[in-house]
Amino acid sequence: MMSDVTLDWRNKGFPATETTVSRERIDERNWRITHEDLMLPAAVLLRSAIVHNSRWMKRFTSLVGASLAPHGKTTMSRDIIAMQMADGAWGMTAATPGHIRIYREFGISRIILANQLVGRQSIAYVASELARDAEFDFYCLIDSIAGVELLEAGLAAFDPGRPVQILIELGSPGGRAGLRDGAEALRVARRIAESPRLTLRGVEAFEGIVQGQKGDEDSVRDLIGRITTLADEIASEGWFDGTPILSAGGSAFFDMVAEGFARVSGFETVLRSGCYIVHDSQFYKKLVERLEARMPEVANLGEGLRPALEVWAYVQSRPEATRLIAGLGKRDVGNDVAPPIPTGWCRPAEDDAVHPMGADHLVVRLDDQHAYLDVPAHSPLRPGDMVSFGISHPCTTFDKWRTLFVVDDERRVVDLVETSF
């Protein structure tokens, strides 16, 4: 469903020559990034890349026999989430109770909260939705007896009329939430199975916490083995209700997760990758290259994931031969994993061609509204030129934009997406 959005001065990138423009009239404006029709900086999504990535993941999950509940926190966009659901997503993954509420407004009927459900307001909201809508298929995590007791007490005050579905969460030493000890995990599983307010539906973990560490692939294999071992032990006790779920949630090792879970029978595998839909220009690009090396058969799926997100900015100054200042900063792009990557440039005073950017142009620092680039002395860039920047880890760029412009391959604006952070 196309969201009803009207653009005005409150939307970054909105043209200064306009007052208000409704979403349905955007395509008629024929705005082009390279014609200077938007105020920069502006964040854009390449439509062809988004569509390609969504369909690629559909083919991947079909190849490995898994279901997909994408992490919607990447984009928090009604339209992108609708595309993911239309391309066969089993459900959506939420990080917070606030996300659950937003997804419900988006019309999502199956949600995994990849977290513990804690707090009076959060428990009350989920319980009210379960009571109101018999089709609402909700799951959350528990990693302790204390977590069981806390949720039971909350549900006693706000009775949803049916048990809440639980996935036991496993974790790694030194990592995030999740049970470290197998014997304790079995005690928690038994306690959930005995609860009249809860029902045990599966086992899950977030394997991505180890990415970038030495031996990360071995650590992922170990965690997957712990998940399947625990799941088999719980199944042998008869503590699961219905077809049990095995789930993991990163965007780096989802091939290993699918392969490891496929070795046990009688379980449904649910992957939770979210960044695939936008991909990126460095961090996940390198991680997916590792995936392709581990799993050569993905070559049969056709071209791999494409970076879809660009942020455009002007060259503001070149105060030194090898120093360039561009007009974007921490308010516009995430840099929690790596700085933005200059990918192309154009000189609108001469033509609208986008030229590739050499790897010797590097962002070395970000202020709130400025990017510092080290460039070679022979770089052609000068003030007034426009530069496109790719990003690493799209989650922390999306949350800086109320709206992002959707463009075709000629950088003509054809639509927009609205975010709900």
Q: What is the domain partition of the chain in residue ranges?
A: 6-46+307-418, 65-276
**Helix residue ranges, H only, 364-420:** 395-398
Q: Compute the distance between CA of residue 341 and CA of residue 344 in angstroms, rounded to an integer.
A: 9
For position 1, what pLDDT does the model report?
Answer: 40
For position 212, what pLDDT does the model report?
Answer: 65
pLDDT tens, residue order, the chain (421 aa): 456 789 999 999 999 999 999 999 999 999 999 999 999 999 999 999 999 999 999 999 999 999 999 999 999 999 999 999 999 999 999 999 999 999 999 999 999 999 999 999 999 999 999 999 999 999 999 999 999 999 999 999 999 999 999 999 999 888 899 999 999 999 999 999 999 999 999 999 998 877 767 778 999 999 999 999 999 999 999 999 999 999 998 888 999 999 999 999 999 999 999 999 999 998 889 988 999 999 999 999 999 999 999 999 999 999 999 999 999 999 999 999 999 999 999 999 899 999 999 999 999 999 999 999 999 999 999 999 999 999 999 999 999 999 999 999 999 999 999 999 9
Q: Tell me which architecture the domain covering 6-46+307-418 has in CATH.
A: Beta Barrel (2.40)
**Distance (Å) of CA 418 to CA 73, 139, 264:** 13, 27, 41
Shortest CA distance to 277 belongs to which of 80, 94, 66, 93?
80
For position 3, what pLDDT does the model report?
Answer: 62
Torsion sign (Cα): 379, 380, 386, 387: negative
Q: Tell me which architecture the domain covering 65-276 has in CATH.
A: Alpha-Beta Barrel (3.20)
pTM (predicted TM-score)? 0.95
**Distance (Å) of CA 293 to CA 117, 252, 288, 289:** 38, 13, 9, 6
**Distance (Å) of CA 25 to CA 7, 20, 158, 409:** 10, 10, 45, 20
